[in-house]
Amino acid sequence: MKIDSVSAQQILDTRDRPTIEVTLISGETIVHASVPSGKSTGSHEAVELRDADGGVSTAIGNVECEIAALVTGRQWETPDELDAAMIALDGTPNKSRLGANAILGVSIAAQRLAAELAGVPLWRAIALRAGTTPAAPRLYLNFMNGGEHADYRLPFQEYLFVVGGKTSEAMPIAERVFKKLGERLERESRSSTSTESVEVELLQKVPMGDEGGYSPKFEELDKPFELLAALVAEHPGASIAIDAAANALRNDHGGYTLIGRDYTPDELRALYLELISKFPFHSIEDPFAETATEDFTKLTAEAGEVIIVGDDLTVTNPARIEMAREAGAITAVLIKPNQIGSVKEAIEAVQMTHANGWAAVCSHRSGETDDTFIADFAYAVGAHGIKAGGLGQKERREKYERLLEIEKEAETV
């Protein structure tokens, strides 16, 4: 693979914040890639390089100068070789010099270029090189958004409807459930007021959170679970998951606060166990803060079949995944390429996760673009699941739509 030109430009993500789009040209072939951005980030994530005003012009400069000088004009055997060269050029442990956003933009684009030049779908090119077995991931659909993604209208960050099987069978279920949930939430908000005027109805349309899921406000902790469980009951095999994103629930006295009530770590663990016993749970992500490894371990030991997922705890980083393995802290790892800053390392994180006998759940970020790389990636590595948000935002739907396309491609290759 030979790259003739590298350029980058600023685009806006779904929160209207600047991010990077990279363009690579090789002969007649032109590919693009753009980089998502998180809000509830772990402190061990690779560094997203931003200017003092939040812009990405320094990162763009790094792509167009140093990285372009490195990658153009020579022959690359694989995109992994190119990733390794960019990591060496950066020279820091967390990509703080060139920026994980700069490096990842080129890394994803290089994967796309390699696939185009080989004339195979992106997912297939990744799987062939990584030696993974492609398979459709379970859909983790973020149907109710809370926490930092929705001004804490709900305490937990994500209330997910989980459905597995062929994507072409899972998606109609997801569409139906999302619509029904919206209707139920609207009825709930209408019945909580005595006025039935049209204006009030319009005002009370259920708001959306950052990831295209509904964001109602409930004072009762169980309410979102009751609503989701009723919909799960109509679909055998479906289940519930949450991302507590507990970093953002910490209070000043060593515990956590949910809807104005304080919990010690032990009380919060008891709450999760109670929820698991009452509702059809599949997994819990980041139940405790990223520093509370021991609390993860205790919950994992008591959670039975329910999967405990590390996100801010592990940040797609091999050293953090190894730390979690030694502690027996989790049974699944969230995989976000921009937490580590290159596709090569994200694949290594998946392979480590699988070697531990754990599940890998590949994930978008709360600030997204129309790039659907994560769908190809999740399918290529045979991930247990994919988190790509709710169905109320175009950039989220595009990931699920790409999975539908992949399913068709897989039938013909």
The residues annotated as belonging to the active site are 211, 336
Quick check: 245 binds ligand PGA (CB under 6 A)? yes
Among 243, 290, 295, 371, binds ligand PGA (CB under 6 A): 243
Among 363, 380, 383, 396, binds ligand PGA (CB under 6 A): 363
Query: Residue 127 or residue 159: which is nearer to ligand PGA going by CB?
Result: 159
Q: Name the strand (E) or helix (H) holding 127.
A: helix 122-130
Among 48, 80, 116, 311, binds ligand PGA (CB under 6 A): 311
Quick check: 41 binds ligand PGA (CB under 6 A)? yes
Query: Residue 13 or residue 80: which is nearer to ligand PGA going by CB?
Result: 13
Quick check: 243 binds Zn ion (CB under 5 A)? yes
3-state secondary structure of 319: helix
- Closest distance between ligand PGA and the C-beta of residue 311, in Å? 5
- Closest distance between ligand PGA and the C-beta of residue 351, in Å? 21
- The letter for the amino acid at 311 is D
- Closest distance between Zn ion and the C-beta of residue 66, in Å? 32
363 binds, among Zn ion, ligand PGA, none (CB under 5 to 8 A by kind): ligand PGA
- The letter for the amino acid at 279 is F
Query: Residue 110 or residue 161: which is nearer to ligand PGA going by CB?
Result: 161
Quick check: 38 binds ligand PGA (CB under 6 A)? yes
**Alpha helix (H) residue ranges in 337-390:** 337-340, 343-355, 373-380
Of the ranges 37-45, 105-113, 195-203, 318-326, which one interacts with ligand PGA (CB under 6 A)?
A: 37-45
Length of the chain: 413
Of the ranges 35-43, 214-222, 298-306, 375-383, which one interacts with ligand PGA (CB under 6 A)?
A: 35-43
155 binds, among Zn ion, ligand PGA, none (CB under 5 to 8 A by kind): none
Across 164-305, where does the E strand assignment appear? 239-243, 256-258, 261-263, 281-285
Say which DSSP state 156 is in: S
Among 19, 34, 40, 62, binds ligand PGA (CB under 6 A): 40
Query: Residue 112 or residue 365: which is nearer to ligand PGA going by CB?
Result: 365
- Closest distance between ligand PGA and the C-beta of residue 248, in Å? 9
Quick check: 311 binds Zn ion (CB under 5 A)? yes
Quick check: 353 binds ligand PGA (CB under 6 A)? no
Position of tokens 């694949």? 347
Query: Residue 110 or residue 330: which is nearer to ligand PGA going by CB?
Result: 330
CB 98 within 8 A of CB 342: no
- Closest distance between ligand PGA and the C-beta of residue 367, in Å? 7
3-state secondary structure of 411: helix
Token duo for residue 115: 């696939």
Q: How many residues bind ligand PGA (CB under 6 A)?
A: 11
3-state secondary structure of 93: coil
CB 146 within 8 A of CB 215: yes
Say which DSSP state 367 is in: B
For the chain, the first-to-last Cα distance in angstroms comes to 23
- Number of helices (H), then strands (E), belonging to the chain: the values are 15, 13
Q: Beta partners for 25? A: 5, 30
- Closest distance between ligand PGA and the C-beta of residue 41, in Å? 5
CB 71 within 8 A of CB 106: yes
Quick check: 211 binds Zn ion (CB under 5 A)? no
Strands 29-34 and 307-310, bridge-based pairing: unpaired
Query: Residue 45 or residue 80: which is nearer to ligand PGA going by CB?
Result: 45
- Whose CB is nearest to ligand PGA? 38
- The letter for the amino acid at 109 is A
Of the ranges 58-66, 86-94, 308-316, 391-399, which one interacts with Zn ion (CB under 5 A)?
A: 308-316
* Per-residue CA distances from 328 to 13, 308, 323, 352, 377 (Å): 36, 10, 9, 14, 26
> Cα(333)–Cα(361) distance, rounded to whole angstroms?
6
Binding site for ligand PGA (CB under 6 A): 38-41, 157, 243, 245, 311, 363, 365-366
